[in-house]
Amino acid sequence: MSSRAVLVTGAARGIGRATARAFAEAGDRVAANYRSSAREAEELVRSLPGSGHLALQADVSDPGQARRLVEEAAAGLGGLDVLVNNAGVSLRHDLVQDDFESWRAAFERTMAVNFYGPVHVTYWAVRQMLGRGGRIINISSRGAFRGEPDQPGYAASKAALNAFGQSLAKALGGHGIGVMTIAPGWVSTEMAQSELDRNGGAEILSQSPFGRIARAEEVAAAAVYFASPEAEFASGAVLDINGASYLRT
């Protein structure tokens, strides 16, 4: 398989970082997007195997920056074959206790990054893929299905992302563009570790019969598979990676 041009949003840390590395290890050229973690993103790019990788700054929630990101990635990589929409935030907002402005601000920021960010980036990425085909892989969450009472905006944004991806799978299949979604539960990242530390971790770990949470590399492996030629007919799929911690029908 020839080297592909891959854009991963939110690649400085966690799932995005592991995904960028997994694609580079598969021989692909990677554009690692970051919003504010320049040092981490640049260190990642230097450490990736192969050549031609880029670290690109953009806040995907801003439409203009999202367009610039895709155009810079395509120019630097020589096109665009795979987009992984990973950038996201998780902000607590309590409907009962928060004042309206604080609650609204957290909800809207969450939607802006987690849902409108992928919407913005995907629009311009599709323009690069038309006529050549490609893959769009969205990183969602089990929260889209089970609900998140402490951060309803997070659950709402991920549920919207699921529906968006399935709509695009219908719309873009005829253009040779597959659209898939990965819905992890808890994943071993810096964001998760703070929550594990705060809660002692035992309840979270006990949610899965395996007694652990996912590794970022497990999510990354699924993204690499979805980008493969063998996965084309998985377009429209939403894959749970939560260790049977939440089962949906």
Residues annotated as catalytic are 154
CA distances from 102 to 3, 27, 96, 159, 238 (A): 46, 45, 12, 22, 32
Burial class (CB in 10 A: 0-12, 13-18, 19+), 40: middle
Contact indicator for 9, 55 with CB cutoff of 8 Å = no
Burial class (CB in 10 A: 0-12, 13-18, 19+), 131: exposed
Burial class (CB in 10 A: 0-12, 13-18, 19+), 187: buried
Burial class (CB in 10 A: 0-12, 13-18, 19+), 97: exposed
